[in-house]
Amino acid sequence: MTDPHQLIIAAAQAAGPCPPNLEAAWHNRVREIALNLHLDGMQLAADIARIQATKDRVRGILTRVEIEESSNRGFIYVKALGRGEERFRTDRLENDSGKQLYAIAQRLIGRLVRVYKEMDSVKVKDGDRPANQVRMAVHLVDLGPADGAVGETDAKDLMVQAVGGDTERAATAWQAAGLPSSGPVPQDQLERALAAVSPTESPDVGEAA
């Protein structure tokens, strides 16, 4: 919402009717709400752009979370379907984005999730060594109980990712595993099919020394 008139209308509705003889205070309140709405809109647009820029999504069971005190970042551990455990970092917890994502992750422990991830460079102590690449969690989506079925779209996306984007090979692997042609896929059946075609990954790509 960038139109100032729309912001004022929304802010006035949020502020409620103007009390008698308090017009100045009410106008200040409306202005404050309008400015906050504008800032919220800017942040939302930035968050959406960041999510849209992610090139990889990981589906799996969120097993645990912890805080790395040295960096003040949250660590999110996910048992990726068809792969091993993967670790994702949040933004720093003094930032709203890191704090909110860590809180969401705490609520989703034991649930099947989709992680929108990006790669980030982390400096190492040895200045002569190149920076390490680590997984950053940008957004989490709750996909339901950990023992439930995986939606058809998510399941097929996972298979395509597992074979490096080769859709023909993915279709062949899907049929070979006896997965249903349409509808939700039982999680245990999907995990076996993915494990048959997926390389094992380390929990993190790189760690600062």
Per-residue pLDDT of 88-117, as tens digits, reads 999 999 988 899 999 999 999 999 999 999
> pTM score, two decimals?
0.69
In the predicted model, is pLDDT for residue 130 greater than 70? no
In whole angstroms, how large is the CA radius of gyration of the chain?
A: 22
What is the distance between the alpha carbons of residues 42 and 44, in angstroms, rounded to a whole number?
5
DSSP code for 20: T
CB count, 10 Å around CB of 185?
Answer: 23
pLDDT tens per residue across span 24-70 = 999 999 999 999 999 888 888 888 888 888 877 888 899 999 999 98
Name the residue type at position 10.
A
What is the distance between the alpha carbons of residues 198 and 42, in angstroms, rounded to a whole number?
39
What is the distance between the alpha carbons of residues 21 and 188, in angstroms, rounded to a whole number?
66
CB count, 10 Å around CB of 78?
Answer: 28
What is the distance between the alpha carbons of residues 195 and 177, in angstroms, rounded to a whole number?
11
In the predicted model, is pLDDT for residue 1 greater than 60? no
Phi, psi of 156 (to 5 degrees): -70, -35
